[in-house]
Structure 1
Amino acid sequence: MNNWKNVLIQPETTIIQVMKLIDETSMQFAAVVDDEMYLLGTVTDGDIRRGILRGLSLDSSIKEVMNATPICESDGKSTNYYEQRLKKAKLKQLPIVSGDKKLLNILFSDNLEFVDKKQNKVVLMAGGLGTRLRPLTDTLPKPMLNVGNKPILETIIEGFKNHGFTNFVISVNYKKELIMDYFQDGTHLGVNIEYIEETKRLGTAGALSLLENKPNEPFFVMNGDLLTKVNFEQLLDFHIETASCATMCVREHQYQIPYGVIETNNHQLLSIVEKPIHKSYVNAGIYVLDPIILDTIPVDKFYDMPELYKELMDKQKIVSAFPLREYWLDIGRIADYEKANWDYKEGIYD
């Protein structure tokens, strides 16, 4: 690539500055170098999100989260060698350095012919009753409500398609014919769509027991009433990099206690904090799962994602959290639906 130098940064560059760089470039990657072009480390979106989970400030320097021992190759080898190195190690980028570790080039797999089309399945949960959105859902299933000029579910499918994911399974129940008649096999959207039909409520994990064609690679599960601008390719990369069997997207939620909170020691008053703000991570309804976890899910039984994750954690499996920093909205109530359409109108989400 001729523009690989666009992703070079200094070690004192702030995390927020690198986030903007990664989001603005198509390479989703940055290389940390000093003034003499010595390679000090590399940064991916996953490195940044792990730093956020550790509580690092966005004003912290990028050296706090960079990978200081990245995989790289020395110069002077054949193009075919580098291509095979990328392919076998499943790397998306490969820094090329001199014998004394000066950065000479960065090769990106997206620009090489061997890159395969993404086959990962996307399971969308669209069978809920949407009771909190009545009367809007008296005649339409919630995922078919329009935000802007198209159903929520179509916007979700387009979001995945924009990142190369085209194989979908939609779990349907309530007013399923409206969803199936609209999307059919997905041909008109340039994707492949299959359906699983719940005859009773099975929950966000229990419905996966109905999958006839089991995935052979990590797959996505997402609630069909969410709007988000998350980069699904970055999410999948994070899942693979952390060697997780299950990854849950999480969203920071803030709430303020409307009173002064006190700390005491017996009768003695130690401190007063006026209306403190508490921060917690909450489940965002987007998951990546390895096929092996399907063996954990009971057949024909209500089983929600939190139950699945708890069971995996009890078994000491590697389960990860992926913090969302992009637009995200759960359309669960009338006020949320109104906000979604307002955001669309204002260009915040389109």
Structure 2
Amino acid sequence: MKIGILAGGLGTRLAEETAIKPKPMVEIGNQPIMWHIMKYYAHFHLTDFTVALGYRGEYIKRWLVDYASLAANVSVSLRDGKVQWHEPETEREDWNVSLVETGLETNTGGRIKRLQPWIGTEGTFMLTWGDGVADVDLDALLAFHKSHGKLATLTAVRPPARFGHIEMDGDRITEFSEKPQTGEGWINGAFFVLEPEIFDYIEGDSTQFEKEPLEELAKDGQLMAYKHSGFWQCMDTIRDRKLLQTLWDSGSAPWKVWD
């Protein structure tokens, strides 16, 4: 099954990091967040990726080529300039990755539409944003999608609150809880499972997938929600990146399920 990853946005709220690189290349634990996403899918034996490029797409191309080549051992003869590549001592990633230019100004729906020749002709496919991690059970998500027979499934999550939650009786605080997650309602957490017919809901490059396509799919009764109450975190700001880095450094990052 093919997995689409949207990696073309500007990432303006991470300007400190994205002035020279696209947001999916911002690092957590010395690896881009997109690497973490791909490792997570690969844990579920989903390894056929198609990445929608836009802003600084060449950075992602260069990173992937370097990642593949630098995994090997290298012998260099300075005398005659010969370079010999050897198989690495550790196993290589068994990934197939297509990097597709989808335009600098193209909106999310337009990027998905431009991936159609690459991922939309072989039945069910999966899709997510290139800036968020979670511990979603992808096997259960896919089974849920197949069980209802609709065109689209999104993973509904409860976002972490930005501020402490306060309950009051007049001016007296009766309850304070820092960063509660269960009281924030459900939002779109990406990690989609989709059928090729969803391309018919996307008009062109200017279409925002989260607007007309998902709204029309919902009106037609073709959009279902897989409720995920576990960990989910996007990386929109420096604060988010620091949170993810802290979780990684602690050795207990919830999305780190691979060996």
TM-score by length of 2: 0.76
Shift in Å, 1:160:
0.8
Q: What pairs with 1:81-230 in structure 2 (closer than 5 Å)?
A: 120-184=1-65, 189-211=93-115, 212-213=117-118, 214-230=120-136
- Tell me the number of residue pairs that the alignment of Structure 1 and Structure 2 aligns: 221
Shift in Å, 1:288:
1.1
Once the two structures are overlaid, the 10-residue window that deviates more, 238-247 or 336-345, is 238-247
Match of 2:213 in 1: 308
Match of 1:337 in 2: 241
Is 2:4–2:126's contact at 8 Å kept on the other side of the alignment?
yes
CA displacement 1:190-230 (0-9 Å, x = unmatched) = 21111221223333222121122323221111110111122
- Residue 335 of structure 1: SS of its match in structure 2? helix
Is 2:2–2:126's contact at 8 Å kept on the other side of the alignment?
yes
Among 295, 305, 315, the alignment partner of 2:200 is: 295
C-alpha separation between the residues in 2 aligned to 1:332 and 1:196?
Answer: 23
Q: 1:254 to 1:228 in 2, by over 3 A?
A: closer
Among 240, 244, 251, the alignment partner of 1:347 is: 251
C-alpha separation between the residues in 2 aligned to 1:247 and 1:235?
Answer: 8
C-alpha separation between the residues in 1 aligned to 2:113 and 2:160?
Answer: 35
Q: Which amino acid aligns with 1:230?
A: V
- Residue 98 of structure 2: SS of its match in structure 1? strand
C-alpha separation between the residues in 2 aligned to 1:254 and 1:331?
Answer: 12
Aligned Cα root-mean-square deviation (Å): 2.7
Q: 1:261 to 1:229 in 2, by over 3 A?
A: same
Structure with the greater relative contact order (CA < 8 A, sep ≥ 6): 1 or 2? 2
Shift in Å, 1:154:
0.9
Is 1:254–1:280's contact at 8 Å kept on the other side of the alignment?
no
Q: Which amino acid aligns with 1:331?
A: M
- Please tell me whether residue 284 in structure 1 is matched to residue 165 in structure 2: no
C-alpha separation between the residues in 2 aligned to 1:302 and 1:134?
Answer: 24
C-alpha separation between the residues in 1 aligned to 2:141 and 2:174?
Answer: 38
C-alpha separation between the residues in 2 aligned to 1:306 and 1:261?
Answer: 39
Match of 1:248 in 2: 154
C-alpha separation between the residues in 2 aligned to 1:290 and 1:160?
Answer: 18
Larger Rg: 1
C-alpha separation between the residues in 2 aligned to 1:326 and 1:258?
Answer: 23
C-alpha separation between the residues in 1 aligned to 2:232 and 2:189?
Answer: 8
Structure 1 stretches of at least 4 aligned residues deviating more than 3 Å after TM superposition = 184-188, 253-262, 273-279
Shift in Å, 1:344:
0.3
Q: Which amino acid aligns with 1:215?
A: T
Q: 1:186 to 1:242 in 2, by over 3 A?
A: farther
Q: 1:129 to 1:261 in 2, by over 3 A?
A: farther
- Residue 135 of structure 1: SS of its match in structure 2? helix
Q: Which amino acid aligns with 2:155?
A: C
CA displacement 1:285-316 (0-9 Å, x = unmatched) = 2211111111221123232234311111222x
Match of 2:232 in 1: 328
Unaligned runs of 5+ in 1: 1-119, 263-272
CA displacement 1:83-127 (0-9 Å, x = unmatched) = xxxxxxxxxxxxxxxxxxxxxxxxxxxxxxxxxxxxx11000111
Q: Which amino acid aligns with 2:135?
A: K
Unaligned runs of 5+ in 2: 69-91
Shift in Å, 1:258:
4.7
